[in-house]
């Protein structure tokens, strides 16, 4: 399997929590923002986002609420919960430690 895809799969929850923690958002906007912020690096089938969102909701990390827009269209906005915030903070810390450790090892590898 593609290494980049595996990395994305392992970090999907953190990425989604991070996006939703900035502001309440909905599926399509998340896809667009992810593409924009990563300069198109994250490529995936858009529908696969929804199982991940529903999983996070079942774990009470986010909560989905239907909102009716002025044009009558309905959208499901996701909000981060307190538990979700705590999980995100822990994951960010773990990620930063991991990233720093990998970087240190790889840099040492290239300088030797």
Q: In the complex, which residues of this chain contact other proteins (CB under 8 A)?
A: 26-28, 45-48, 50-51, 54-55, 58, 64, 66, 73-76
The residue written with tokens 């009716």 in the block is 68
User: Among residues 52 and 92, whose Cβ is nearest to other proteins?
Assistant: 52
Kindly state the smallest distance separating residue 54's Cβ from other proteins, in Å.
5
Q: What is the length of the chain? A: 112
Q: How far is the CB of 97 from other proteins (least distance, A)?
A: 29
Nearby residues of 42 by Cβ (< 8 Å), 6 or more positions away: 8, 15, 34, 35
């Amino acid at each position: 399997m593609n290494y980049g895809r595996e990395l994305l799969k392992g970090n999907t929850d953190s990425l989604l929590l991070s996006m939703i923690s900035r502001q309440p958002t909905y599926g399509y906007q998340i896809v667009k923002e992810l593409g924009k912020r990563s300069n198109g690096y994250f490529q995936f089938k858009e529908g696969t986002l929804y199982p991940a969102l529903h999983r996070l909701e079942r774990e009470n990390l986010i909560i989905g609420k239907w909102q009716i827009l002025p044009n009558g269209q309905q959208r499901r906005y996701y909000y981060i919960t307190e538990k979700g915030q705590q999980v995100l903070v822990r994951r960010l810390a773990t990620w930063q430690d991991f990233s720093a450790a990998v970087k240190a090892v790889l840099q040492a590898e290239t300088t030797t």
